[in-house]
Structure 1
Amino acid sequence: MTSCRDAEEKKDEPAEPMQNEMHQSEDQATMETYEGESLEAEFKDENTAEVYNLYVEIKDAFVNTDAETASDKAAELAEKAGENEEIASAATQIAESEDVNTQREDFSKLTAAMEPVLQDALESGEIYKQYCPMAFEGKGDYWYSNSKDIFNPYYGDKMLKCGRVEATLN
């Protein structure tokens, strides 16, 4: 069996040690619906705040393996993205899919499109860039979160706590 720890040992120089291992029976027994953490950060402009908040709602839907909510929130984000074609395109792809695994692949594109938007966008507070080394058959991938706590959108309740904080945006 492969776990978060196995993938970490293969990575050359992790930014931080893995915070969590797989504890499936406990997580599955106690998890009902993840509702996310409230945003403590303040953005320099309102549109970026709205785009980021919708991104987080999509991420939270994936933590809950909820394709329908992810689709609905992604449709909202596609409209709100304005002239940012990368965000609008990735959000539209999520909105148009009903398959959660396909949506998660598009979420990876959305996360990449969010990075330049989030750089230097905060007035105060912090956003956490998190990483799961197991995502996409061991290739690994990132997502953004309001909390240091790991709630993995790429695996949901299958590997809820797999990941680590790679960077802090402030």
Structure 2
Amino acid sequence: MKKTTLFAALVAMFAFASCSSDSNQHQADATEEHDHEHHDGMAHGDNLPAAGTVVVETPTFDSVAEPMKTNLSQLLDEYIALKDAMVESDAETAKEAATTILNSANAMPVATLQVPEQKSFAEEQVEKVRTSAAAIAATNDLGEQRNQLEDLSEAVFSLTKAFGATDKKVYYQHCPMVNNNQGAYWVSTNSEIRNPYFGSSMLKCGSNEEVIN
């Protein structure tokens, strides 16, 4: 489902080099690393991708009946609370946030959707939310929680984008060093990079890859 443009790939390569530098600096001196990461983050992480850059392809549903749109907006807010808990390396708060997301997913009014394409898309993505949130809520292990974040992030971003579920700007952000340098994405409503996979160890490692709204 993901389609990374050449531009996004080049940005990711640059982010990888900068993040690797940040990691080495962290090992040398924690205080100097903080300043270095902040500088590097402003140099590459907080810049925006070119207009029209697409990482996650979704359909566009122009007309969606309530309460679906409202519930999806709430889901995004709940996801941000979970992501922020992981930025803070707070496994207990992340677990609680995941439980809230799971409850919202279980209560998502997909049945109110009358258009078959909308309903089938929502069912697929909400099930991904449900599966990932349940896995995060089932453990106090921060590493295991973070392993589930990318699938949850893609599903939340896809739903938000397809249904136009918020008036906020939403950023799809990427760190190339996650998962043994395979990389991973997350969602934010702030362009400034705050990495939920590494927390304070590499807080500014990442880049904005797609923006909606």
Q: Under TM normalisation by the shorter chain, which class is it?
A: 0.7 to 0.9
1:101 counterpart residue number: 143
Instruction: Say which of 143, 147, 152 aligns to 2:190.
Output: 147
Equivalent residue runs for 1:16-27 within 5 Å: 18=15, 21=19, 22=22, 24=26, 25-26=30-31, 27=34
2:201 counterpart residue number: 158
Distance in 2, Cα, partners of 1:45 & 1:157:
34
1:62 corresponds to 2:86: yes
Equivalent residue runs for 1:15-164 within 5 Å: 18=15, 21=19, 22=22, 24=26, 25-26=30-31, 27=34, 45-82=69-106, 83=108, 84-120=126-162, 121-122=164-165, 124-164=167-207
What do you get for the CA RMSD once the two structures are aligned? 2.5
Partner SS state of residue 86, structure 1: helix
Q: What amino acid is the match of 1:87?
A: V
Shift of 1:46: 1.4
TM-score, with length taken from structure 1 = 0.76
Q: 1:161 to 1:123 in 2, by over 3 A?
A: closer
Q: What amino acid is the match of 1:91?
A: A
- Using the aligned pairs only, state the percent identity: 31
2:10 counterpart residue number: 13
Q: Which runs of 5+ in 2 are unaligned?
A: 1-7, 36-67, 109-125
Q: Which structure has the highest helix share of the two? A: 2
Distance in 1, Cα, partners of 2:130 & 2:74:
14
Distance in 2, Cα, partners of 1:100 & 1:130:
20
Q: What amino acid is the match of 2:74?
A: E
Distance in 1, Cα, partners of 2:13 & 2:208:
7
Partner SS state of residue 11, structure 2: coil
Q: What amino acid is the match of 2:73?
A: A
8 Å contact from structure 1 (residues 108, 143) kept in 2: yes
Shift of 1:114: 1.6
Shift of 1:16: 9.3
TM-score, with length taken from structure 2 = 0.62
Shift of 1:13: 2.3
Shift of 1:108: 1.5
Q: 1:134 to 1:15 in 2, by over 3 A?
A: closer
Shift of 1:155: 0.3
Shift of 1:111: 1.0
- CA deviation map 1:63-91 (0-9, x unaligned): 00010000001001000013522101110
Q: Which structure has the highest strand share of the two? A: 1
